[in-house]
């Protein structure tokens, strides 16, 4: 039971009995994410002070500019989690291949693999706008004590054991689920402790915010165009408010608290949309569903998609139940 001033550390221990297996391992894993989040938070907060802004001079495997903080966050999370036996494998949006952490002569008996978008919304760093980290945890499917293989990472989202995000915003929060609802913790920066601030978050069943990069309007499928016009009509509870930050974590976090819908459709230029199934859409979809919302690619539930590649992309529509259901009418 949550109690007053409960810290994330206490919450993890008190709730570990709810997992049916490997409880200690999962607790240690979430603890390590908590620590890495604090390290990255510290770095994000001083981004304006030190010469950490700008490009690192390399591109990630999708050919996008890598910011220095992307590199920093990637290294911070990988370092924190490849220690000891926190996980047996890691796949990151910033790395072409997954990493196997098999230990000396395959002594790593850990059950879990981690997938991560270390810094989400990185184009917002230079202008002091919220960014995030997204993580996703699965039980490996190959035998314990052997090197992990691609199949350990290419699992449908409904097999996630836990997922969550950190938002480095006006305050820093860690929000996660282990399949028993969604809880949010706010960092007290003075003492470096996360406190339970948002117990059992519920996605409002309906909302009045739509979030989409409308600059791409001309390239959207007709159904999405029609839905956007519907959002803007002066009928009943419309027009809705338009809010788009350009950090998936921040856009979903706001909509989950206030009620809303997020759209990142396929376009003529990117036929699978932009967002990555494994590092962004699956973990966010698990959180969204656990809070009572919906997440779809327009044809099927995000969490039911069978992944075929580590860096695959998917169209993404997610939010309040009623709003996603309305959108589906337009998509046909
Ligand atoms: P990342 O910074 O990890 O590459 O992710 C950026 C993503 C996501 O956070 C955001 O919602 C989306 O890109 C914004 O894309 P547009 O600039 O095309 O709207
Ligand atoms: Mn991202
Ligand atoms: Mn990223």
Distance 133 CA to ligand 2 centre (A): 8
Distance 198 CA to ligand 2 centre (A): 23
Which ligand 1 atom lies nearest to the CA of residue 123?
2
User: CA-CA distance, 249 to 280, in Å (whole number)?
Assistant: 9
Mean pLDDT throughout 176-184? 96
- Copy the structure tokens of residue 112: 């879990």
Query: Locate tokens 């419309």: which residue?
Result: 238
Distance 248 CA to ligand 1 centre (A): 6
Query: What is the model's pLDDT at position 68?
Result: 85
* Cross-strand partners of 164: 135, 176
pTM above 0.85, yes or no: yes
Query: What is the model's pLDDT at position 204?
Result: 98
Distance 70 CA to ligand 3 centre (A): 7
Residue 17 has pLDDT above 90, yes or no: no
Query: What is the model's pLDDT at position 102?
Result: 77
Identify the residue whose C-alpha is closest to ligand 1 atom 12.
Answer: 246
Mean pLDDT throughout 237-247? 98
Shortest CA distance to 248 belongs to which of 162, 194, 149, 314? 314
- CA 99 and chain centroid, separation: 20
Q: Are 8 and 185 in contact (CB under 8 A)?
A: yes
User: Average pLDDT over the chain, rounded to whole?
Assistant: 93
For 39-65, the pLDDT digits (tens) are 999 999 887 776 656 566 666 777 666
206: pLDDT confidence band, cut at 50, 70 and 90?
Answer: very high
- CA 258 and chain centroid, separation: 18
Between 1 and 303, the more confident residue is 303
Q: Are 146 and 265 in contact (CB under 8 A)?
A: no
For 77-133, the pLDDT digits (tens) are 999 998 878 999 999 999 999 999 977 767 888 999 999 999 999 989 888 899 999
Mean pLDDT throughout 269-285? 97
Can you list the domains of the chain with their CATH numbers? 8-198 (3.30.540.10), 209-331 (3.40.190.80)
Helix (H) or strand (E) holding 129, with range, is none
Query: What is the model's pLDDT at position 64?
Result: 66
* Cross-strand partners of 319: 261, 294
| Pocket mutation for ligand 1, best pick of 44, 243, 280, 284 (most atoms within 8 Å of C-beta) | 280
Shortest CA distance to 140 belongs to which of 88, 189, 94, 100? 88
Query: What is the model's pLDDT at position 50?
Result: 64
Query: What is the model's pLDDT at position 93?
Result: 97
| Pocket mutation for ligand 1, best pick of 40, 116, 275 (most atoms within 8 Å of C-beta) | 275
* Cross-strand partners of 195: 7, 186
Which ligand 1 atom lies nearest to the CA of residue 117?
3
Query: What is the model's pLDDT at position 268?
Result: 83
Query: What is the model's pLDDT at position 57?
Result: 66
Q: Are 199 and 228 in contact (CB under 8 A)?
A: no
**Residue 261: partners with Cβ closer than 8 Å, 6 or more residues away:** 207, 209, 210, 211, 255, 317, 318, 319, 320, 323, 324, 327
CA–CA–CA angle 96, 99, 103 (5° rounding):
165
For 30-45, the pLDDT digits (tens) are 999 999 999 999 999 8
User: CA-CA distance, 97 to 101, in Å (whole number)?
Assistant: 13
């Amino acid at each position: 039971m949550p109690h007053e001033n409960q810290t994330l550390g206490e919450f993890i221990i008190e709730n570990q009995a709810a997992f049916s297996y490997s409880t200690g391992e999962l607790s240690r894993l979430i603890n390590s994410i908590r620590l890495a989040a604090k390290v990255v938070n510290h770095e994000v907060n001083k981004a304006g002070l030190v010469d950490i802004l700008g490009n690192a001079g390399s591109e990630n495997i999708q050919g996008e500019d890598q910011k220095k903080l992307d590199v920093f966050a990637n290294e911070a999370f990988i370092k924190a989690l490849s220690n000891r036996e926190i996980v047996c494998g890691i796949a990151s949006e910033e790395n072409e291949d997954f990493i196997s952490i098999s230990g000396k002569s395959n002594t790593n008996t850990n059950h879990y693999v981690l997938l991560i978008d270390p810094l989400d919304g990185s184009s917002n760093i230079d202008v002091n706008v919220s960014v995030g980290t997204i993580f996703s945890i699965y039980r490996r499917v190959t035998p314990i004590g052997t090197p992990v293989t691609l199949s350990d990472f290419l699992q449908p989202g409904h097999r996630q054991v836990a997922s969550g995000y950190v938002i480095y915003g006006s305050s820093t929060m860690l929000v996660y689920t282990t399949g028993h609802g969604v809880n949010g913790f706010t960092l007290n920066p003075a003492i470096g402790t996360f406190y339970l601030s948002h117990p059992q978050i519920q996605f409002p069943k309906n909302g009045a915010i739509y979030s989409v990069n409308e600059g791409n309007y001309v390239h959207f499928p007709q159904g999405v165009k029609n839905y956007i016009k519907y959002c803007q009509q002066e009928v009943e509870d419309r027009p809705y408010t338009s809010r788009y930050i350009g950090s998936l974590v921040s856009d979903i976090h706001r909509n989950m608290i206030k009620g809303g819908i997020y759209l990142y459709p396929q376009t003529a230029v990117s036929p699978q949309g932009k967002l990555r199934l494994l590092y962004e859409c699956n973990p966010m979809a698990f959180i969204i569903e656990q809070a009572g919302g919906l997440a779809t690619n327009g044809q099927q539930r995000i969490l039911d998609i069978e992944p075929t590649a580590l860096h695959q992309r998917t169209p993404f529509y997610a939010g309040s139940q009623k709003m996603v259901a309305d959108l589906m009418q337009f998509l046909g």
